[in-house]
Amino acid sequence: MAVFSHPEFDHHETVSWCHDAASGLRALIAVHNTHLGKGLGGCRMWPYRSEAEALTDVLRLSRGMTYKAALAGLPQGGGKSVIIGDPRRDKTPELMRAMGRAVNRLNGAYVVAEDSGTSVADMRLMAQETVHVGGLADEKAIAEGRTGDPSPATAYGTFIGLKAAVRHRLQRDDLRGLKVAIQGVGNVGHRLARHLHEAGAELWVTDLHAPAVERCVREFGATAVPMEAIHALEVDVFAPCALGAVLNDTTIPVLKAPVVAGAANNQLAIADRHGEALRERGILYAPDYCINAGGIIDIYYEGPGYDWAIVEAHLQKIGTTLAEIFERAQREAQPTHRIADRMAEEIFRKR
């Protein structure tokens, strides 16, 4: 399987195929760039349809982490890992420990953390085999009720970014009555829904996991919507919070929301083409790796001396950065993703 000629290969430093026969582990680790620091990134577990699909995902996700860390102002590089398998069916402690050993073989070039399909408990299993694990709370933090789960910070940062996008595109600070369609209400999407509900927004939600939708309907008075219809609703904001490539040739022409602001990674199926298509339609896109940086910000501060006030102050900068992206994009008549890329590259390519 070609790597160097792969369309998503972007001068990645390391791409590792990982296998453990005893546990059944089949995984990939990609380290994109370590100019600013070690390649930090979550471990996603997903029932990919093929190894090629998993390779595409890990290459895109790891590159995004480099750009995410740079725009977030963190001394970290970008990496990511994916495990091929259904997290509800195939996950075992043995498999997680095998993944920890795979991470350890990279000698610290990659630092693993939780992502879709994995949890803090899984990270603790990996930590039995490697010290290169991020986002684990210490004993004092656990006693205070923290687990190291970055989802709350990711959701809060996304909420801050969404407000910045609404302010720029819709010229409003008050979210009361704002209509928001959320695609994916798992750990992050559900918490984003809570923030929006508490701010007075009206919600439409969808998810592959029916109980997650039912929970939002019950707790927030949200309206349940079929997965195939969520992106075409007449709402103010479309918030993708599931998997990537949801902004594509099929969905963009029928989008009615003037703002796209959500926590999913790699939302643009083909970045340059679909970013430009959104701009041409007058839709403001909050670049995903900027708006969803709350998780890696939280992980950076995790450990002894963790102070939520410091973390929250850093999360507020997501809104400031997005405001700069929006203003530059408007001034230069460029899609927002292109401006975000340029700003990130100015940071991590200096070294």
Active site residues: 80
CA dihedral 337, 338, 343, 344 (to 10 degrees): 70
Q: How far apart are the first and last CA of the chain?
A: 32
Which pair of structure tokens corresponds to residue 294? 């709350």
Output the CA–CA distances (angstroms, integers) from residue 28 to 14, 46, 119, 123, in the order listed.
Answer: 10, 12, 18, 16
The dihedral through the CA atoms of 195, 168, 259, 333 has a sign that is negative
Q: Which of 48, 53, 41 is nearest to 1 (CA)?
A: 53
In the block, tokens 């200096």 appear at: 350
CA distance linking residue 42 with residue 295, whole number of Å = 10
Neighbours of 72 (CB within 10 A): 25
Q: Which of 253, 301, 303 is nearest to 280 (CA)?
A: 253
